[in-house]
């Protein structure tokens, strides 16, 4: 049997006056998987999420989420999903437990059931000891976990996480990765947007790269990396003039740049023959390359090759016209 679809979108379009934000986006996300949507600021990630979660209406195209049409079945769709934005939306004057009980009551649970569910979620997200403390005393990672727990008071079919680890330190981010992995193991579908490429590499079963309102590539992490190269040859150059000259000469063959260290990266199949050929081509006089290193291709290389610039994690959401 074919795996059921959690998200299916065809030709999604969205514009604000002359500004085109989405220009015909197609998406297919299978149930029980993690789908990562990558893209630079303004590429259309957050707009895509807002359309799929019924917060925005598309100008064109169709989509179904958790089996419901985003236009005709908005109420039913909302009852089967949850959305966690870039910043934790918790009531800091209430305790963690009170936040979860309140959310349960808002979702229609009787008070005893809401309290029981709050206790389960506090334990699940390692917040039991902090449950009676005000959320204002929580660290950033704890607030993110509480925010995610609040969206699970009534278990959803699909969870949308819009840059869920923004602003967290590495340890807190890794803790969130563990939580997300545990959720998927229960059969929940996760739709994740992120600019942390290692996050998508760690979590996502499939990855889409969006740029300029269009989906420019899609596949597993390994499939996307293979589109760029099996490996990357990093060249440390002799001086700034050489760096600038070779950057211009190699042009779109460059898949990695580090101006501070005078390093340029170019794709290679990783074989000794190909590495020798590249070195002979780029530095025939053996005077421009001080040293070189061979690395496996990364999602950073994919991002640069597909969008024309490296990923630069930012904490700003896409800006939309006032009043939208």
Regarding whether 40 and 76 lie in a shared domain, the answer is yes
Regarding whether 278 and 172 lie in a shared domain, the answer is no
**Is residue 257 in some structural domain?**
yes
How far apart CA 195 and CA 266 sit, in angstroms, is 23
| Strand 206-211 relative to strand 34-38, pairing | parallel
Q: Per residue in 248-277, pLDDT tens?
A: 999 888 888 889 999 998 988 888 999 999
Regarding whether 176 and 57 lie in a shared domain, the answer is yes
Regarding whether 76 and 11 lie in a shared domain, the answer is yes
How far apart CA 85 and CA 163 sit, in angstroms, is 7
Q: What is the mean pLDDT of residues 78-94?
A: 81
Regarding whether 241 and 218 lie in a shared domain, the answer is no
Regarding whether 160 and 70 lie in a shared domain, the answer is yes
Q: How many helices (H) and strands (E) are present in the chain, helices listed first?
A: 11, 14
β-bridge mates for residue 198, sequence order: none
Q: What is the mean pLDDT of residues 70-89?
A: 85
Residue 321 has pLDDT above 60, yes or no: no
Its domain, for residue 256, covers: 230-296
**Is residue 32 in some structural domain?**
yes
**Is residue 178 in some structural domain?**
yes
List strand residue ranges (DSSP E) for the chain, in order.
5-16, 19-30, 34-38, 60-65, 68-69, 81-84, 158-162, 189-194, 206-211, 214-219, 231-237, 256-258, 263-268, 289-296
**Percentage of the chain with pLDDT > 70?**
91
What is the CATH number for 45?
3.40.50.300
Q: What is the pLDDT of residue 125?
A: 83
134-143, 234-243, 289-298, range with greatest mean pLDDT:
234-243
pTM equals 0.73
What is the CATH number for 252?
3.30.70.920
Predicted confidence band at 89 (pLDDT cuts at 50, 70, 90)?
Answer: confident
Regarding whether 276 and 176 lie in a shared domain, the answer is no
Predicted confidence band at 200 (pLDDT cuts at 50, 70, 90)?
Answer: confident
Q: What is the pLDDT of residue 310?
A: 61
Tally of domains within the chain: 2
In order of 40, 49, 96, 118, 196, the CA distances from 312 in angstroms are 7, 20, 33, 37, 8
With contact defined as beta carbons under 8 Å apart, do 262 and 243 qualify?
Answer: yes
Q: What is the mean pLDDT of residues 185-205?
A: 86
Regarding whether 267 and 254 lie in a shared domain, the answer is yes
CA 219 to chain centre: 14
**Is residue 175 in some structural domain?**
yes
Regarding whether 292 and 161 lie in a shared domain, the answer is no
């Amino acid at each position: 049997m074919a795996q059921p679809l959690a998200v299916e979108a065809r030709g999604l379009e969205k514009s604000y006056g002359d500004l085109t934000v989405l220009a015909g986006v197609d998406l297919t996300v299978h149930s029980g998987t993690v789908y990562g949507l990558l893209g630079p600021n303004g590429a259309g990630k957050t707009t895509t999420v807002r359309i799929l979660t019924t917060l925005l209406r598309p100008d064109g195209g169709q989509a179904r989420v958790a089996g419901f049409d985003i236009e005709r079945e908005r109420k039913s769709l909302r009852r089967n999903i949850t959305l966690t934005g870039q910043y934790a939306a918790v009531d800091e004057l209430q305790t963690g437990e009170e936040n979860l009980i309140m959310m349960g009551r808002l979702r229609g649970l009787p008070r005893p059931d809401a309290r029981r569910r709050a206790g389960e979620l506090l334990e699940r997200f390692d917040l039991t000891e902090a449950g009676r403390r005000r959320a204002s005393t929580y660290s950033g990672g704890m607030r993110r976990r509480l925010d995610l727990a609040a969206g699970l008071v009534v278990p959803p079919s699909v969870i949308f996480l819009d840059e869920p680890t923004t602003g967290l330190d590495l340890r807190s981010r890794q803790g969130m990765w563990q939580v997300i992995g545990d959720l998927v193991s229960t059969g929940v579908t996760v739709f994740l947007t992120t600019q942390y490429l290692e996050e998508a590499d760690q979590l996502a079963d499939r990855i889409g790269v969006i740029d300029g309102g269009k989906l420019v590539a899609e596949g597993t992490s390994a499939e996307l990396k293979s589109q760029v190269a099996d490996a990357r040859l990093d060249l440390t150059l002799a001086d700034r003039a050489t760096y600038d000259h070779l950057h211009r000469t190699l042009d779109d063959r460059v898949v990695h740049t580090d101006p501070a260290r005078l390093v340029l990266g170019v794709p290679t199949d990783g074989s000794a023959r190909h590495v020798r050929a590249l070195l002979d081509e780029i530095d025939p006089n053996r005077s421009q390359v001080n040293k070189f290193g061979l690395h496996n291709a990364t999602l950073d290389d994919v991002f640069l090759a597909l969008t024309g610039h490296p990923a630069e994690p930012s904490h700003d959401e896409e800006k939309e016209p006032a009043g939208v």
